[in-house]
Amino acid sequence: MFKAAINAELLKDSIASLAVIVDEVRFRISPEGISVKAVDPANVAMGIFELGSAAFDEYSADECEIGVDLNKITDLLGIADRSDTVRMELDEVNQKLLIDVGGLSYTLSLLDPSTVRAEPRVPQLELPAKVVLNGADLRRAVKAAEKISDHMLMGISEDIFYMEAKGDTDKVRLEMGRDQLIDMKSGDACSLFSLDYLTDIVKPTNKINEVTLSLGRDFPILIDFAIANGAGKISYLLAPRIESD
Amino acid sequence: MTSFREFAETCQAVEKISSTIETTNKVSEFLRKVDVEELPLATHFIMSEVFPAWTGKQLGIGTSLLYAALSKASGMSVKSIEGLIRTTGDIGETALLILKEKRKNQVTFTSFLEEESEFSISDVYQRFITASEATGKGSQNLKIKNLQFLFNSSDPREAKYIARLALEELRIGVGEGVVRDAIAKAFDVPVDVVEHAFMVTNDLGVVAAAARTEGVEGLKKLGIEINRPIKMMLSQISPDIGTDIGDMKEAAIEWKFDGARVQIHKDGDSVTIFSRKLENVTNSLPDLVEIVRKHVKADSAILDGEAVAVAEDGKPRAFQEILKRFRRKYDVAEKAVSIPIQLNLFDIMYLNGDTLIYLPLRERRKALSSCVESSVENSRSISVDEQIITGDLKIVEKIYKEALDAGHEGIMVKNPDSVYSPGKRGKNWLKKKPLMETLDLVIIGAEWGFGRRANLIGSYTVGCYDPETTRFLQIGKVGTGLSDEQLKELTEMLSGLMGGEAGGVFAVRPKVVVEIAFEEIQKSPNYDSGFAMRFPRFIRIRDDKAPDEADSIQRIERVYSQQRKKL
């Protein structure tokens, strides 16, 4: 059983944050809320998504798992107003999701969860350094890097957090000290990431006040932030590019 | 599950071996080690196939997709990768080089998990399928990421063979012959039993699995199955028809039609048509499907025949006309009306659950006539072609002349007591046709034209087939005989196949077979076949032939020595 009502914009943003990783996901539904763990087809980026029942206007559910094509939901929510309420109800027998929004009633066919790539195993990482910054700053640095290169270095050097991109001829660097950051835990950190992924991942952070980055040397980066006034959380894990010595 | 590493190691070992026997031994060791569920797949992989050839399915992963995936995997730009391809001339070596160098290789989460996980032959297959079948929004990205996954999760030496396999071209010189012998050796079964099982199933993967699990008995159980094409029985040119007919005492004489060979499977109301290359061409021939459904009175049957396109004067139209329909995907119905088609059936291999290939031709003809109802309606017709059994050479000459007058190729001379031998070219089926010196060769290189033809292929290098190494050996360069329209068509066909360049000549992946006329074969040190053609001229594209059906180096040697005899 699953029946819920939620603000259209919140749902749209949540779906968009997952859609940067994969097209098809398994939603794990429980009385406490909805969670998703997904890895992109190249095994380079992971998304871990949790939306607690408190994020919903109405919520009641038993344990169940459904397979969803995110593109379909994105298309359907595209028509909705930001302030609309989306009502959802699961028809378990026929594997359909009934969605009411803005006076329209959709019947959405679900995917057989066994045909959707299984939840990935999340590596246990010890990331020595941590930076908390404004999402818009992160987005701005990534956008600048994109103009120059297709990958970006992120690291900490002498209490300065830096993001740097080097092209064939040009270079761009953004440095932020403790005073420009919301918080920082200094440590040995310097890793190179593909902008293909970063560009997509930082898109939803634009509206987020506090984004936490956890970093290491030639190690994946963990990017996480709260959504739905703290009732939900998104974490991205991105594997680095590694240069030989 | 068998790790892909095992496969890559076999490829690597085989690539260094030049002896066929040693190659066969290596392949047989590998087949013995493979997990039984993966054996069919592994058998196809080692022959550079992702799907059994008879399914007609191709992966369709292009070089540009691979370059993009390699670029994402290594951090090297597509442009630099293309540059590297031009020097190495091979996608596999290129993949190995750039991933080994680790300039800015992407790593995957696998490196951060505690236990190492290896991926299997089936995993590679699954990723290929996903990359091949993705359609619609975001599919390009999905294709690239699935390939990228393979490149980043493997060792560079494995990546080399993944890249080559993605193009269905391993370049390790393992063909059907080697695999057939390797299956026999690996599972201790006689080669001729393996060979026969292959001819009726057309699928060495199925054959390997049967040999492994049930041995000789299993192979003998393999039979003809409706909707899975069997190899067509082939004919050879008779140098002296008089002697041959004398040997047979009586011969069955039929016209040799100038059309396209078809193998038709009727299964209830469903009709499937395969071309000479055993590609499924059903969708291109809706009118044939209909006429077979209506006039073949059998629950199930496999028939052999020739489809002929007929011109207004009743003579056969150019062979290419009908082949064009094989390639056509749109306007099929419209074309069907504008080109009348004749279906001439001459053999039957299967009827209502019974395999007929072991019956003599005379008996098969009876069965064929009993289930085919001749009919002419509108622009299409179906019939069992006329066959005369005779030992009289005068009658044979007369039929031969009639066939030529009607615009067909000549005659077939068949032994009326012979079985249907799938895939065999032997003395039981002979053909007599006017001598024209042509060879079917494969395009392996190309040069751009200049002046008016600057955007078209100007000339191209052709090669003959070496069945032992499965490689193609150069035998000449052809630049004449093509109309502008044919040049355009050929340029389009080749554009997706071009690879590395050296001195203005582009390597072309050996896919396109062309018929080339010539005046004489000469010895030549300039080409690696050791032969060259004098005055080569383009005749036509042989869409109906697969590259490994092109004329072999042995055939060239024979033509050369026959020429010498005539002098």
Percentage of residues in chain A with pLDDT exceeding 90? 80
Cβ of B450 under 8 Å from any chain A Cβ?
no
Cross-chain residue pair B145–A42, CB shorter than 8 Å: yes
Residues of B in contact with A41 (CB under 8 A): 130, 142, 145-146, 149
A123: in domain: no
Distances, alpha carbon B259 to alpha carbons B212, B471, B539, in Å:
41, 29, 16
A80 plus A32 within the same structural domain: yes
What is the per-residue pLDDT for A132?
A: 97
A120: in domain: no
In the predicted model, what is the mean pLDDT of residues B375-384?
85
- Beta-carbon contacts of residue B503 (< 8 Å; ≥ 6 apart): none
Q: Give, as one character, the DSSP assignment of residue B174.
A: -
CATH number, position A71:
3.10.150.10
- Beta-carbon contacts of residue B296 (< 8 Å; ≥ 6 apart): B264, B266, B303, B371, B372, B373, B382
B256 assigned to active site: yes
ipTM: 0.86
In the predicted model, what is the mean pLDDT of residues B299-312?
90
**What single letter denotes the amino acid at residue A59?**
Y
Residues of A in contact with B152 (CB under 8 A): 42-44
A174 confidence band (pLDDT: 50, 70, 90)? very high
pLDDT of B29 > 60? The answer is yes
In the predicted model, what is the mean pLDDT of residues B64-78?
93
Lowest mean pLDDT among B42-46, B319-323, B536-540: B319-323
A133 plus A110 within the same structural domain: no
Is the Cβ–Cβ distance between B238 and B251 less than 8 Å?
Answer: no
> What is the separation of C-alpha B331 from the centre of its chain, rounded to a whole number of angstroms?
26
B333 confidence band (pLDDT: 50, 70, 90)? low
A137: in domain: yes
Please name the residue of chain A whose CA is at the shortest distance from the CA of residue B134. A23
Q: Which two tokens stand for residue B522?
A: 């000469």
B336 confidence band (pLDDT: 50, 70, 90)? low
Residues on chain A bordering chain B, Cβ-to-Cβ distance under 8 angstroms: 23, 39-44, 46, 71, 120-121, 123, 125, 150-151, 192, 194, 196, 219-220, 237, 239-244
A21: in domain: yes
A109 plus A139 within the same structural domain: no
Residues of B in contact with A242 (CB under 8 A): 102, 104-105, 107
- Pick the catalytic residue: B143, B256, B424, B431? B256
For strands B270-274 and B260-267, give the pairing.
Answer: antiparallel
Grouping H, G, I as helix, E, B as strand and the rest as coil, residue B496 is coil
pLDDT of B262 > 90? The answer is yes
pLDDT in tens, A135-166: 999 999 999 999 999 999 999 998 999 999 99
Those of residues 60-79 in B touching chain A at CB distance below 8 A are: 72, 75
In the predicted model, what is the mean pLDDT of residues B352-368?
94
Cross-chain residue pair B112–A123, CB shorter than 8 Å: yes
Distances, alpha carbon B468 to alpha carbons A228, B177, B344, B465, B552, in Å:
68, 8, 36, 9, 10
Query: Domain containing A212: what range?
Result: 129-220
- Beta-carbon contacts of residue B338 (< 8 Å; ≥ 6 apart): none
Residues of A in contact with B102 (CB under 8 A): 242-244
pLDDT of B319 > 70? The answer is no
Separation between Cα atoms, residue B336 and residue B326, nearest integer Å: 11
A100 plus A135 within the same structural domain: no
Closest-CA residue to B154 (of B112, B103, B116):
B116
Burial of B474 (0-12, 13-18, 19+ CB in 10 A): buried
Percentage of residues in chain B with pLDDT exceeding 70? 94
Separation between Cα atoms, residue B437 and residue B290, nearest integer Å: 38
What is the per-residue pLDDT for B567?
A: 46
Dihedral angle, C-alpha B470, B475, B480, B482, nearest 10 °: -10
Half-sphere exposure (CA, 13 Å, Cβ side) for B378?
10
Is the Cβ–Cβ distance between A146 and A166 less than 8 Å?
Answer: no
Domains (range + CATH), chain B: 4-166 (1.10.3260.10), 234-432 (3.30.470.30), 438-566 (2.40.50.140)
Closest-CA residue to B155 (of B110, B113, B190):
B110
Those of residues 139-198 in B touching chain A at CB distance below 8 A are: 142, 145-146, 148-149, 152-153
Residues of A in contact with B110 (CB under 8 A): 43
Other CB atoms closer than 10 Å to residue B483's CB: what's the count?
9
DSSP B74-95: H---HHHHHHHHHHH--HHHHH
Question: What's the mean per-residue pLDDT of chain A?
Answer: 93
Q: Give, as one character, the DSSP assignment of residue A116.
A: S
A205 plus A142 within the same structural domain: yes
Percentage of residues in chain A with pLDDT exceeding 70? 100
A97 plus A154 within the same structural domain: no
Query: B501-512: string of b/e by CB count within 10 Å (b at 16+)?
Result: beeebbbbbbbb
Separation between Cα atoms, residue A71 and residue B134, nearest integer Å: 14
A142 plus A185 within the same structural domain: yes
Separation between Cα atoms, residue B283 and residue B383, nearest integer Å: 21
